[in-house]
Chain A
Amino acid sequence: MSVRLMQGNLACAEAALAAGCRFYAGYPITPSSEIAEHLSRRLPELGGVCIQMEDEIASIAAVIGASVGGLKAMTATSGPGFSLMQENIGYAAMAEIPCVVVDVQRTGPSTGLPTSPSQGDMMQARWGTHGDHPIIALSPSSVREAFDLTVKAFAFSELYRTPVLLMMDEVVGHMREAIELPAQVEVVERPHTDVPPEWYYPYEAGGADVPPLVPFGMGFRYHITGLFHDRAGFPTERIDEIDPWLKRVNAKIERNLGRILMYALDGVEGARTLVVAYGATARSARHAVGMARARRHKVGFVKLLTVWPFPVEVLAEAAQGVRTVVVPEMNLGQIALEVERVVGRGRVRRVNRADGQMITPAEILAAIEEH
């Protein structure tokens, strides 16, 4: 493949196809619409389906349905649509249906600034749907990462039978950079069962973290519900069925952190100051770190690619011996709360903007140099 200039949204759409996505349902919204536009052309070419639904609630419902039917499925939206999708994201977590939800974040609350970037949905990604549920959220900072993390999002959703959120932002979604698309990507297929249909239980994991999900329509009869359910998927109120389920679905993420947590450490050893950033802000942060090092400051940099589950141990180790941890975000302080939880409030210096503008390297440099 040759080098092409490509937008983050297109890289995401192309990555979905490469990962085997064959179903997209969505409702167009800036700044995510190019994903739907591109897939509306490309999916039919590949024998897939692209549907414009009446709203975002229907969009994610269709995606969940397609996934139960055996297709890898995705939707893409922005803040207002992401809010509407929350209940069904919980349903997918509860029923353990793999799906990928892309949120190209724009400035909120409400319809906010449709064409301006933000990272204001990061806490919503973790706790936007109610109840104690497992979730994985990834955040790319370049066109190349938009591609790679979309592929990962599909892999994780299939491996762990869970919704995976790709938390982009307007900058990464609309930014164009050169990218050489890989000829092949690591495609993860849904684990299949070898038990006969009459013995199959969709929620019986045995000793494993995740039971295999057999698509509807293949002769394996089972039930799906948002209620707490037994191994066959039928509603239950038995504590001896509820508690083990809760523990297992949360443990399936916790026990696989080694695979799920993606991050990049740069110059962390011996650093006096640590900068922790993700998404487009990681670009500003890396620029600022370069400026600071040119001025002989000992600055380490942690770029988070996986934001949820939060990399507690990674950060705790990186912050050892560090005096100050600078956390820039295009919000009023969301992931900073997690960093504070890990390293202690007194050591964290926040740099925040929620006015639709990217945080500049100079603003982060000022925080690095502040005494």
Chain B
Amino acid sequence: MVGRIEVRLAGEGGQGLILAGVILAEAAAVHDGLHATQTQSYGPEARGGASKSEVVISDEEIDYPKVIEADYLLAMSQEACDRYVGNLRRDGLLIVDSTHVTRLPLDRQAVQAPITRLAEEATGRRITANVVALGVLVGLTGVVSRQAIEKAVRERAPKGTEDLNLRALAAGLDWAEQRRRPAASPGGAASR
């Protein structure tokens, strides 16, 4: 990895996006041996209202700890998508939860992932959507290694929910894997 990568996770308060940012930063800084900062901005309310979490990952020391122009934007609500897409690099990647986001920008590369539906299928609990989202993000972008994100999820998950959260993570990683190789043909011939 070379240089600075900026990730913004945005949605509504209560969706667990600040925790998702913490897990991602921990995967990078503790398990992958990179530099990382995690910051957040949220409203005074405990639930509802806009919430965003920002993670900067770099192989060098990080000065400015917030996103300047995001490389990756995860949007878990239509409002978050509309508000932050303008600050996504032209060649950046937008990942949306298709359960909540239906209108997409025309001028950015976007992936519609059924994050909340995957969470329901994998764990029966919508609340694990934040961890599914991490799986999708890491699976599509490789900002941290699979081993690092798994370790970080296991360590940060509330006691007794480790397996549940690792199932959610795997659901996101697997979805991204399939998405990256949609035409995986028998015999393993790579599509060109």
Residues on A close to B: CB < 8 A? 3-5, 30, 114-116, 171, 174-178, 280, 283-284, 286-287, 290, 358, 360-362
A80 to chain B, nearest CB (A): 13
- Quick check: is B99 within 8 A (CB to CB) of the other chain? no
Whether B64 pairs with A287 at a CB distance below 8 angstroms is yes
Whether A30 pairs with B44 at a CB distance below 8 angstroms is yes
Stretch at the interface among B30-38, B159-167, B180-188: B30-38
- Tell me the bound Cα distance from A176 to B29 in angstroms: 10
Q: Tell me which of B41, B43, B65 has the highest count of chain A C-beta atoms within 10 A of its own C-beta.
A: B65
Q: Considering the complex, give the chain A residue whose CB is closest to the CB of B34.
A: A178
Whether B29 pairs with A178 at a CB distance below 8 angstroms is yes
Contacts of A171 in B (CB 8 A): 39, 65-66
Whether A115 pairs with B29 at a CB distance below 8 angstroms is no
Whether A358 pairs with B66 at a CB distance below 8 angstroms is yes
- Tell me the bound Cα distance from A174 to B43 in angstroms: 14
| A–B Cβ pairs within 8 angstroms, 9 of them | A5-B26, A5-B38, A114-B44, A175-B38, A176-B39, A287-B63, A358-B66, A361-B63, A361-B68
Contacts of B66 in A (CB 8 A): 171, 358
- Tell me the bound Cα distance from A362 to B68 in angstroms: 9
Given A4-B30, A178-B29, A178-B35, 7 further pairs, Cβ under 8 A:
A115-B44, A177-B38, A177-B62, A286-B63, A286-B64, A358-B64, A360-B68
Whether B36 pairs with A178 at a CB distance below 8 angstroms is yes
Known contacts A5-B22, A290-B63; A177/B41 CB under 8 A: no
Contacts of B40 in A (CB 8 A): 174
- Quick check: is B42 within 8 A (CB to CB) of the other chain? yes
Q: Identify which of A5, A116, A174, A361 contacts B25 (C-beta below 8 A).
A: A5
Contacts of B62 in A (CB 8 A): 177
B interface SS class: mixed
Q: Considering the complex, give the chain A residue whose CB is closest to the CB of B27.
A: A5
Which 3 A-B pairs give the minimum distances between C-beta atoms? A287-B63, A178-B29, A287-B64
Known contacts A5-B25, A286-B63, A361-B68; A177/B37 CB under 8 A: yes
Whether B29 pairs with A3 at a CB distance below 8 angstroms is yes
- Tell me the bound Cα distance from A116 to B36 in angstroms: 21
Known contacts A5-B25, A286-B63, A360-B64; A174/B30 CB under 8 A: no
B25 to chain A, nearest CB (A): 6
Q: Tell me which of B62, B63, B68 has the highest count of chain A C-beta atoms within 10 A of its own C-beta.
A: B63
- Tell me the bound Cα distance from A283 to B61 in angstroms: 11
- Tell me the bound Cα distance from A3 to B27 in angstroms: 12
Whether A5 pairs with B29 at a CB distance below 8 angstroms is yes
- Tell me the bound Cα distance from A30 to B41 in angstroms: 12
Q: Tell me which of A177, A280, A286, A358 has the highest count of chain B C-beta atoms within 10 A of its own C-beta.
A: A177
A68 to chain B, nearest CB (A): 37
Contacts of B30 in A (CB 8 A): 3-5, 178
Q: Considering the complex, give the chain B residue whose CB is closest to the CB of A114.
A: B44
B31 to chain A, nearest CB (A): 10
Q: Tell me which of A176, A280, A290 has the highest count of chain B C-beta atoms within 10 A of its own C-beta.
A: A176
Q: Identify which of B25, B36, B43, B63 contacts A284 (C-beta below 8 A).
A: B63
Contacts of B36 in A (CB 8 A): 5, 177-178
Whether A176 pairs with B64 at a CB distance below 8 angstroms is no
Contacts of A287 in B (CB 8 A): 63-64
Whether A175 pairs with B37 at a CB distance below 8 angstroms is yes
B67 to chain A, nearest CB (A): 10
Whether B44 pairs with A174 at a CB distance below 8 angstroms is no
Whether A177 pairs with B63 at a CB distance below 8 angstroms is no
A25 to chain B, nearest CB (A): 24
- Tell me the bound Cα distance from A284 to B44 in angstroms: 25
Contacts of A5 in B (CB 8 A): 22, 25-26, 29-30, 36, 38
Known contacts A5-B30, A178-B29; A115/B42 CB under 8 A: yes
Q: Considering the complex, give the chain B residue whose CB is closest to the CB of A285.
A: B63
Whether A174 pairs with B39 at a CB distance below 8 angstroms is yes
- Tell me the bound Cα distance from A290 to B40 in angstroms: 24
Whether A176 pairs with B22 at a CB distance below 8 angstroms is yes
B109 to chain A, nearest CB (A): 25
Contacts of B22 in A (CB 8 A): 5, 176
Contacts of B29 in A (CB 8 A): 3, 5, 177-178
Contacts of B44 in A (CB 8 A): 30, 114-115
Contacts of A178 in B (CB 8 A): 29-30, 35-36
